Amino acid sequence: MAKKKYESRFRKPAIRTLVKHHGIGGLRPECEAVEETSPRDFGPLVESISRRGLLLPILIDNDGMLVEGRSRLCVCHLLAIEISDGQIAITEESLDSIIERNTPTRNLTRCHYAIKPVQVLIEELDEAKQRRRDGGEKRGQILQNYLS
């Protein structure tokens, strides 16, 4: 049986039209190179922005070209949210670091997102065990010094 293709409840608008509508100079080639948000991830983004608003600014470079925030821009248009000047920020961050930050998160499942907090928790538990061992050794040394 063929796996059914996921279809989002939300239709993503054309980014080139939105860029012009919001007075952004265009898309940086590097921005276009980053894979678009999948339909499966676009829906939760729409729901998040509709509940909480736009939490991260849309980033443009000094030439007014879109660097990051393609999907956020689409969601705001879809929800008829006006984007203020304060929600569009000029960045001087290197394009390589922006691409690096965005690329690894594409196509991750909910399970993948859950792995990181578990890894952090395991590291913190290991650190706590080490602190207890260190504290026990220090206590033993204090007792030994006291008794001698």
Residue 108 has pLDDT above 60, yes or no: no
Please name the amino acid found at residue 23: G
pLDDT digits (tens, 9 = 90+) for 121-130: 788 888 888 8
Mean pLDDT over residues 38-59, rounded?
88
133 confidence band (pLDDT: 50, 70, 90) = confident
Residue 35 has pLDDT above 80, yes or no: no
Q: Confirm whether pTM is higher than 0.85.
A: no
Residue 21 has pLDDT above 70, yes or no: yes
Q: For residues 45 and 72, what is the distance between their CA atoms, to the nearest angstrom?
A: 8
The mean of the pLDDT values for the chain is 80
pLDDT at 15: 86
59 against 139, higher pLDDT:
59
Please name the amino acid found at residue 5: K
Residue 145 has pLDDT above 80, yes or no: yes
pLDDT at 76: 92
At 9, give phi and psi (nearest 5°). Answer: -75, -15
Residue 13 has pLDDT above 60, yes or no: yes
115 confidence band (pLDDT: 50, 70, 90) = low
CB distance 98 to 30 below 8 Å: yes
Angle 113-14-52 from CA coordinates, rounded to 5°:
45
Tokens representing 23? 């007075």
Q: For residues 63 and 24, what is the distance between their CA atoms, to the nearest angstrom?
A: 9
Choose among 104, 102, 107, 106: nearest CA to 31. 102
